[in-house]
Each structure stands twice: as C-alpha cells, then as structure tokens.
Copies of this chain bind each other. A is one copy, B any other.
Amino acid sequence: MPNEDLLTIGQRTYRSRLLVGTGKYKDLDETGAAIAESGAEIVTVAIRRTNIGQSPDEPNLLDVVSPERYTILPNTAGCFNAKDAIRTCQLARELLDGHNLVKLEVLGDQKTLYPDIPATLEAAEALIKDDFEVMVYTNDDPIVAKRLEAMGCVAVMPLAAPIGSGLGVQNKYNILTIVENAEVPILVDAGVGTASDASVAMELGCDGVLMNTAIAGAKNPVLMASAMRKAVEAGREAFLAGRIPRKRYASASSPLDGTFF
C-alpha cells in the first residue's frame, strides 16, 4: 500500500479504511479481539444501546475500545426522527467530552432500516449548525448524496444493501456515480456480507467501508475481521493499481461494449 494513501475525515487522518461497529458480539472480549484484528481506527458505537458511561456501574465498552487508541464514532442507530437523532448526538458529545464527530442515521422503518431521507437532511442541517462533524448514513441516490455533501457533511455513507442483510453492493452504478461526483469521502455503510463485498465497494472507488454484522455475525468473528481488513486493502490497492478492462476474450481488440451483462 503506498505510504501516502491516507483517509482524511474532517480534521482527522487515518491509515485504515475499514470502520467497524461494536454490536452483536458474544462478549466484550470478543468485541475487543475482533476490532483489534480488523485494524480499524474508527469504531462506531450505538449510543442508545451501548454503555460508554451512561450507566456507571455496568461494563463500559470504552474499557475494550479505548478512545486513546480508536476514534470513537457515536451513531444514532435506533432513531426514527430528526429530533431523537439530534439529541442522541448531543448526549454523545457530553459523554465524550466534546468530541464532535458523529455518524447520523435517521431510520425510515423497522423492517428495512432504510434511512428517512427528509428527516436525515433535516437532522444533518441542524447538527452541522451545532458544530458537529457529520458522517451521514444515506440510501444510494446520487442526488441525495450530493445534497448531503453540499450541506457540509464530512463524509457520505451510502448503503450497499439493507443493514444486516449481507447482500453486498446492490447497485454498483449508483455507488460509482456517487463516488465520481464526490469531494468528501464516500464510505459504504451497511449491507456487506463477506470479504469480496468489501473489495467490490473499494474497487468502485469508495474511500472506506463500515460494517458490523458481517464481522460480529460470522462463525469466527476474529478471523472474519482479518479477512475484512485484507479485503478492504485489496480492493483499495486494486482500485489504485488500475485493473485490466473486461473483454469477452483476450484476443478482443476492445473492451466490452454493448454486449456486456
């Protein structure tokens, strides 16, 4: 990997392009081990479901995911309207001593966990005005992605597929269009199921991938964390290395056009 290939989000700079969550692990030990193996430097935490100090007498995630080693990225998972999401971010800022980088998600329904786009736009605007640095979960609509960027979000995070589905990138053209139009980092968030899914996202030019279930839900989460670390690096390097064109045959004089599928 070229040494200078860094990911910049807001004011911060990272070497790893894999971001991970903390839910669904067997216990905090497994959480810590998998996250360490993943090589992630940014760890997202569902403030409504995870104790990072709200309940002083219970196990604290920050004991295994140290804020000194990782950028803790509070997220608003479980919020279904702008107001709840904004409050959750404010609570997180208090708990984390003024830390202002957040991942905003405002969900549209319980079943698909797709974002509610109008509420997401509303919450993003309010949070940016309140000096948050907003990384924002969104659908894969290129127009929406551009609007969120224009509004001042520091990273735009389109879904590959529904949260927890493991289906991989469903609409590659949309992700590609979002990437081509972007001037802030585009991180695929949600829907990755296995290593190749993460590579595909990176090969499309995404700046990073965020995942939780794909690692925590694997039979062997620590080994899957290693797979995902390598997959993100592999996809990034393949993107930078410039792949061969797709052709029907080696002997074809030009890449596929018109007859691809």
Contact = CB atoms under 8 A, between A and B. Distances in A.
Question: Which of A139, A242, A261 gathers the greatest number of chain B CB atoms within 10 Å?
Answer: A261
A188 interface: no
Given A244-B217, A244-B218, A113 B249 contact: yes
Contact of A142 (B2, B112, B214): B112
Interface residues on A, range: 35 or more
A225 to B, nearest CB: 8
A257 B257 contact: yes
A67 interface: no
A237 interface: yes
Given A164-B250, A242-B219, A196 B227 contact: no
Copy number in the complex reads 4
Nearest to A251: B111
A121 interface: yes
Contact of A246 (B171, B245, B260): B260
A235 to B, nearest CB: 6
Contacts of A248: 162, 165, 167, 173, 177
A240 interface: yes
A250 B193 contact: no
B249 A165 contact: yes
A138 to B, nearest CB: 10
A30 interface: no
Given A161-B173, A241-B227, A199 B203 contact: no
Interface of A: 1-2, 108-118, 121, 139, 141-144, 146-147, 161-167, 170-174, 176-177, 193-196, 199-200, 203, 213-214, 217-221, 223-224, 226-231, 233-238, 240-251, 254-261
22 contacts: A113-B250, A116-B143, A118-B118, A161-B173, A167-B248, A173-B248, A173-B261, A176-B259, A193-B243, A195-B199, A199-B199, A218-B241, A219-B242, A220-B242, A223-B241, A224-B237, A226-B237, A227-B236, A227-B238, A227-B241, A255-B258, A256-B260
